[in-house]
Amino acid sequence: MLTDELRDKLIQAAVEARHWAYAPYSHYRVGAALLTSSGKIYDGVNVENAAYPDSICAERVAIFKAVSEGEKSFEALVVSTSNGGSPCGSCRQVLAEFGLDTRVLITDDQGHVLRELRVDELLPGSFGRGDLPGKNQD
């Protein structure tokens, strides 16, 4: 459950993570903080590359860090940018893989929440496990 105290901690973690972003090309720093159902917080930053397609978003970094440690159930994700930018389509699809009910808070670089919604609102009509044959496989 996302208490006010935990919500503030998550927002602060995303805002602080922005400082570690590697964005020498776009100069658009993004920080993310992901709260798992077990109560752990995983942060992430965008990491750019001169070969642009090899870059990765902060949201996916946080998700992949969590999954690499055995976490697959998420409560909330905070994304912090200078202007309250929304997660890209790839990040939305990765979030959908792990639950359409995950809360997403979009903040500016001061931690002001500009939008709060669920993944299913970010990605209506999402493509998921149920759309594939053999959908009960892990």
- List residues with catalytic annotation: 59
Return the SS3 of 137.
coil
Question: Which pairs count as long-range contacts for 124-130, CB under 8 Å and 24+ apart, including other chains?
Answer: 126/92, 126/93, 126/96, 126/100, 127/93, 127/96, 128/96, 128/97, 128/100, 129/97
What are the residues facing 117 on neighbouring strands?
A: 104
